[in-house]
Amino acid sequence: MLSRPSAILRSPFVTTNPCCRTCHRPFSSLNLPALHERGLIKDMLPDTMGTRMSEMISKKETSVYAGFDPTASSLHVGNLLPLIGLLHFQRAGIKPIVVIGGATATIGDPSGKKTERERITSDIVDENAAAIRKNIDNIFANHKKYLWQSEEKLPPFTIVNNMKWYKDINAVDFLGNVGRHIRIGGMLLKDSVQTRLNSSEGMSFAEFSYQAFQAYDWLHLLKTYNCFLQIGGSDQMGNMKAGYDLIRKVTGDSPYSLTVPLITTETGDKFGKSAGNAVWLDSEQTSTFDFYQFFLRSSDNDAAQYLKLFSFIPEKQLTEVLESHHANPGQRKAQKKLAEQATLLVHGEEGLKTALQATEALFNSSVEALSTLNPEVFPSILGQAFVTNLPLNSSITVLDTVMQAKCFQEEKDARRVIGAGGVYINHQKTRVADHVIQAGSHILPNNITLIRIGKKNHYVVRWRS
């Protein structure tokens, strides 16, 4: 039965004597109640942890995994929490495993989907798998380099593609050896299955079988890596339960799964590719600046929650940050700390530096900061579509510039907005469309011009002589 993790407070492996760096113990104990208090753990299966599993965790005799299907060329913020969960386990000395679903991506997970996913070719799946592997490598490397405040060595993490084992299994063997242990009744009870079966769209056999493949992934990992633990988004609990049931039937062992909350918008919609609002972890798709701004724009309530989820800040320091923020909310200290920690984890020190410089240049109206930015970094800040290279000539006007920079589709709209004072060049309002672009006032020493339309739509022109 699925339940909240309140029962874990009685878990026998939890210690009330946290490790410090001077006591020479290799890692702190895995304090799941603390992770629950931070909001990182939403649900657990089963709802209590047996003595054997507790001993395996305390002795570091198990590993933990999370899986991601490469249905896009980047992971997004919604995928970040399972990875952070893996990092918390790694910090406790437990080896993390990331499964890239090269095989399952070709089937398509129906969880939360109203219609069947479009089929992805194997070539695209391979390209996506390589790209998200880079996301994952960067996150583990940045955590180790910038956020792991200890001299102790973290256990290595493993990335595996489930195509590695499925390519050698034919359909008859899978059904004969695995399918016989999976009960249709349990599969039919899954919410996503019921929703689709009761819809006009229906559900294909491929989608219906998806949970069987994810279940086998866990069984394979248990046999290969002694992996008794799985972590994933709360929308994955149905698939996790399929794996839990399969392992119990085949081996007699009881594994353990837990979910992290879904990251949603203010209206309750989750972030992701299908929703069209993804904040990508690849800087080519969401710039380091936009990634930083996503967290910086959080409301006070969200910032307090997100700091607990997306950072590894100890509880005492976290309390100090939030108290300081509440004493002077206008300084947005919680949002700044949140954006800093999340950007450092995903994009590293250089990415954070670029995001901070861009924030200073774009939003603090600092012409000096804008002048010091390397023109080559603007595509990574704003995105390639918002950066234009133009040849400089002596007669080009403000109107010519905003049109060639694709700030407007129609010239009449450009003239109207310029005349109304809605166009800023290097943070200075301009109202005359036919003014000729001049070095110094319009072109900065680094040969760039920043154009702002309204409050937050930015474009950059890089001038070529």
Instruction: For domain 376-463, give the CATH superfamily.
Output: RNA-binding S4 domain (3.10.290.10)
Other C-beta atoms lying within 10 Å of the C-beta of residue 435: 16
End-to-end CA distance of the chain: 69
User: For 84-163, where are the E strands, in sequence order?
Assistant: 95-100, 158-161
Is there a common fold for 32-262 and 376-463?
Answer: no
CA atoms of 44 and 298, how far apart (whole Å) = 28
Measuring CA to CA, how many Å separate 459 from each of 97, 424, 429? Answer: 41, 10, 15
Other C-beta atoms lying within 10 Å of the C-beta of residue 7: 13
Phi-psi category of residue 410: left, alpha or beta, with phi > 0 → left and psi -120 to 50 → alpha: beta
Contact yes or no for 404/388 (Cβ under 8 A): yes
Averaged pLDDT, groups of 10, the chain, 465 residues long:
36 33 46 84 85 84 95 95 96 96 88 73 95 98 95 95 94 90 82 78 83 95 96 90 94 93 70 69 90 94 94 93 94 96 97 89 81 83 84 91 95 96 93 91 92 90 90
User: For 20-118, where are the E strands, in sequence order?
Assistant: 43-45, 63-68, 95-100
Question: In the structure encoding, which two tokens stand for residue 390, read together?
Answer: 């133009």
CA atoms of 405 and 442, how far apart (whole Å) = 14
CA atoms of 71 and 379, how far apart (whole Å) = 25
Type of residue at 255: P
CA atoms of 339 and 82, how far apart (whole Å) = 18
- Dihedral pair phi/psi, residue 361, rounded to 5°: -75, -40
Q: Which top CATH class is 32-262?
A: alpha beta
Contact yes or no for 365/427 (Cβ under 8 A): yes
Dihedral sign for Cα atoms in the order 346, 349, 351, 357: positive
Contact yes or no for 84/139 (Cβ under 8 A): no
pLDDT of residue 267: 54
Other C-beta atoms lying within 10 Å of the C-beta of residue 17: 9
Q: Which CATH architecture has domain 287-364?
A: Orthogonal Bundle (1.10)
pLDDT of residue 268: 59
Instruction: Indicate the domain borders of the chain.
Output: 32-262, 287-364, 376-463
pLDDT of residue 238: 87
Question: In the structure encoding, which two tokens stand for residue 442, read together?
Answer: 């319009």
